[in-house]
Structure formats: structure tokens, C-alpha cells
Chain A
Amino acid sequence: DGGITQSPKYLFRKEGQNVTLSCEQNLNHDAMYWYRQDPGQGLRLIYYSQIVNDFQKGDIAEGYSVSREKKESFPLTVTSAQKNPTAFYLCASRGPVRGAWGEQYFGPGTRLTVT
């Protein structure tokens, strides 16, 4: 059963702690993305990776870090430097490219609350 999994579904952390969100896909997709969604707002791109061992900053990368050691996995670390970490975090992967642009599919998300 192919898809994208994110864990955990809910995460609670104290301010000042780093936390790592997991994202795994078995769709054999090359490109993977991390987005953040705040209440009543659209999605904002944090980081993306088009190939193993390579990744680029998105629009709001400050306070976040990623790694891409395997094609299937793209974990996101929310560091203590992120000023407003409480949000809904969404991982996506991009399917076969039609022309130059393919469709992105999302995992179920991780809701992070930092107090």
C-alpha cells in the first residue's frame, strides 16, 4: 500500500527543546517537501529536496533543519531557534514529472504544540 507516512500525529514539547518529525514515502518519488500550516492560512514551504543528499531552503527555513540520507526519508528538525514552532507540519512528495512539473501528494501531517 503506497503512500506517505508522518509520525507522530501529535507532538507536545517544551520551549527550548529540539524535536524531529518523521516523513517516509514508499512511492519511489525523488522530490520531497516540508510545509507548515498555521490556522486560517495557506501552506508555506520550509525545505525541499529533489535528490538524496541534497536539499534547499524554502521560504521560511530559519529555525529548521533537514536531512535526506535515503530516498524514502526526509526528517525535519524543529530547533529551539524557531520562534513560533506551534503549527501543523505537512510532508509531501512529488510524483512522476509530466513535462517539467509533477503533482505533489501529502502525508497525514504532524501537529506540533510547543509550550
Chain B
Amino acid sequence: QKEVEQNSGPLSVPEGAIASLNCTYSDRVSQSFFWYRQYSGKSPELIMSIYSNGDKEDGRFTAQLNKASQYVSLLIRDSQPSDSATYLCAVIAYGSGNTGKLIFGQGTTLQVKP
């Protein structure tokens, strides 16, 4: 079983809709969770981090964490064509100590249709 799993997509949503991206992880005691956005040919850009169960909102983005079910999700409200990108989920597993070693999923490609 992969340590961090994402549906590769593509996930296609119309402009203005809510895009929902999901990520599951295998390490039950993982502590820190991150969402990165990566445009084609570019490097990943950190858009959200979440450490506690529940929701965290930042503008049009909401990260949701459920440690009991071992999933983290990213909601994008009022999706825009400029949100079309690959979204990478990353996790720091318990036992990494202070190394900050991230484990990445393969990413979900989002397409927002005008």
C-alpha cells in the first residue's frame, strides 16, 4: 500500500463550482499535512498546511483533516480556470523527528472548464 494516495484524475469541474480533492495516508500517527499546487512545468507551491483535526480556511481554499479516518481533503470554492493544475498532498510521518521529511502523493490533476 502506498503511503500517501491520491486519485490521479483528471478531475474536471465547471468554472464557479467547488472542486474537492482527496488524499489518504497509511501512517495512522502522521502529524502534519500539506497541499501543494503545481502548474505544468513549474515547481510546487505551498497553498495549505493543516495540523489538527477539522477545517482550516484560507480564502477560497479549505483544508479538512480527519485523523481517525486517515484522510485529508482540499476544497476549492468558486473554481477558476487559473486553478487548473496538479495538486500534491504531502505528509510528515510520525517518527520523522525533526527532519521534516515529506512523503508525497502522486498528485491529482484538476481541470476547471470555463
A58 contacts which chain B residues (CB < 8 A)?
A: 101
Q: What total of chain B residues lie within 8 Å of the partner, measured CB to CB?
A: 27
Residue in A43, A104, A106, A108 whose beta carbon sits within 8 Å of that of B100 in the complex: A104
A40 → chain B, closest Cβ, in Å?
Answer: 7
23 A-B pairs in the complex with CB atoms less than 8 angstroms apart: A40-B106, A42-B4, A42-B105, A42-B107, A43-B88, A43-B90, A43-B102, A45-B101, A48-B99, A48-B101, A50-B98, A50-B100, A56-B99, A94-B100, A97-B100, A99-B51, A102-B100, A103-B49, A104-B34, A104-B90, A106-B36, A106-B44, A109-B43
Which chain A residue has the least Cβ–Cβ distance from B49?
A: A103
Choose from A90, A99, A102 the contact partner of B44 (Cβ within 8 Å).
A90
- Chain B residues positioned under 8 Å from A101 (CB to CB): 31-32, 51, 92, 96, 98, 100
Chain B residues, CB < 8 A from A31: 99-100
Q: Given the complex of chains A and B, what is the CA–CA distance between A103 and B104 in angstroms?
A: 13
Residues of B within 8 A of A48 (CB): 99-101
Is B101 a contact partner of A103 (Cβ separation < 8 A)?
A: no
Chain B residues with Cβ below 8 Å from A107 are 43
Q: Is B17's CB within 8 Å of the partner chain A?
A: no
Q: How far is the CA of A26 from the CA of B9 in the complex (A)?
A: 36
- Determine whether B42 belongs to the interface, using a CB cutoff of 8 Å to chain A: yes
B97 within 8 A of A: yes
Instruction: Collect the chain A residues with CB atoms within 8 Å of residue B96's CB.
Output: 101
Expressed in whole angstroms, the minimum distance between the Cβ of A87 and any Cβ of chain B is 13
